[in-house]
Amino acid sequence: MKIIIDERGKKYIVNGESDFHSDLGILKKDSIKNASIGDTLTTHLDKEFKVIKANVNDFIDLMTRRCSILIQKDIGVVISHTGIGYGSRIVDAGTGAGAIALNFGNIIGDTGKVYTYEIREDFAKIATENIANFGLNNIEVKNKDIKEGIDEKELDLIFLDLPQPYDIFENCYTALNLGGWIAIYAPYIDQIQTSYRIAKKIGFTSISIIETLEREIEVRNQGTRPKTRMVGHSGYLLFARKL
């Protein structure tokens, strides 16, 4: 599997098993299959595509998904705030299309492990296919309701994107290492308020709530200024630590 990018900056996944068709012309499957990173492929309409070395964000942009996913500004805060890295053990629920599980798996290396719980069978199937296509072997998709119990212990992070995450906070506390984190994503303030109160009651410490807003800056001939549109509210993030 390769990712190619056209002269407009639009990206595509190609596998070399069939010809690639677009409004810019046709690329023959043999030329795709034999191409290496950095090569330029030319269609029958003389339009050029570059073969790029894709990272996890390129893949997530193009992968199959039938649900909304966490965006980069929130994923980045979770990774940096909790300090996960090489060798970390992580539980994630619910999986959705697998975007945050892929980000976790991409940084924890071969000695780490991500266990991602998804109650819906159709979503679990899509996530399994996406993870396999990206080529990671350190993520296990579990078609299971995490409220039935967390199978894993000695975890460094439990990430929950659930309607009522606080229902399993006691199980989370038991499953975490000393020093481990829970991170909660919730679109509504009442979810995060309830999560805060219950996390504090159970004994979690270092509890904080974060909302990240992203504003891009544009450079024009007339001058430099913030873009009129920005990535505003997507969700609230709650962090709490077992100490």
Among 58-67, 140-149, 173-182, the range scoring the smallest mean pLDDT is: 58-67
What is the distance between the alpha carbons of residues 4 and 14, in angstroms, rounded to a whole number?
7
Q: By C-alpha distance, which of 149, 135, 174 is closest to 2?
A: 135
Q: pTM score > 0.85 for this model? A: yes
Is 137 strand, coil or helix?
coil
pLDDT on residue 58: 92
> What would the pLDDT profile of 101-142 be if each residue is shown by its tens digit?
999 999 999 999 999 999 999 999 999 999 999 999 999 999
DSSP 138: S
> In the numeric block, which tokens belong to residue 21?
């068709």
Sequence-separated (6 or more) residues with CB below 8 Å from residue 47: 6, 7, 24, 25
Is 187 in contact with 179 (CB distance < 8 Å)? no
Q: The dihedral of CA 59, 65, 71, 76: what is its sign?
A: negative
> What would the pLDDT profile of 32-83 be if each residue is shown by its tens digit?
999 999 999 999 999 999 999 889 999 999 998 878 888 899 999 999 999 9
Q: What is the mean pLDDT of residues 168-197?
A: 97
In the predicted model, what is the mean pLDDT of the chain? Answer: 95
Instruction: Determine if residue 122 is labeled as part of a ligand binding site.
Output: no
pLDDT at 1 over 80: no
How would residue 7 be classed by pLDDT, with cut points 50, 70 and 90?
very high
pLDDT on residue 67: 85
Could you count the other beta carbons within 10 Å of the beta carbon of residue 224?
8
pLDDT on residue 231: 86
pLDDT at 197 over 90: yes
Instruction: Determine if residue 61 is labeled as part of a ligand binding site.
Output: no
The ranges assigned to domains in the chain are: 2-54, 59-241
Q: What is the mean pLDDT of residues 162-171?
A: 97
Instruction: Determine if residue 92 is labeled as part of a ligand binding site.
Output: no
DSSP 231: B
Q: By CB neighbour count within 10 A (0-12 exposed, 13-18 middle, 19+ buried), where does 67 fall?
A: middle
Is 157 in contact with 180 (CB distance < 8 Å)? yes
> Would you identify the CATH topology of the domain 59-241?
Rossmann fold (3.40.50)
pLDDT on residue 54: 84
Is 236 in contact with 209 (CB distance < 8 Å)? yes
Residues in the chain: 243
Cis peptide before 94 (omega within 30 of 0): yes
Provide CATH code, domain 2-54: 3.10.330.20
pLDDT on residue 66: 79
Identify each DSSP E strand in the chain by its residue range.
2-6, 11-14, 20-22, 25-27, 40-42, 48-52, 89-93, 113-117, 139-142, 155-160, 176-186, 205-210, 217-219, 224-226, 236-241
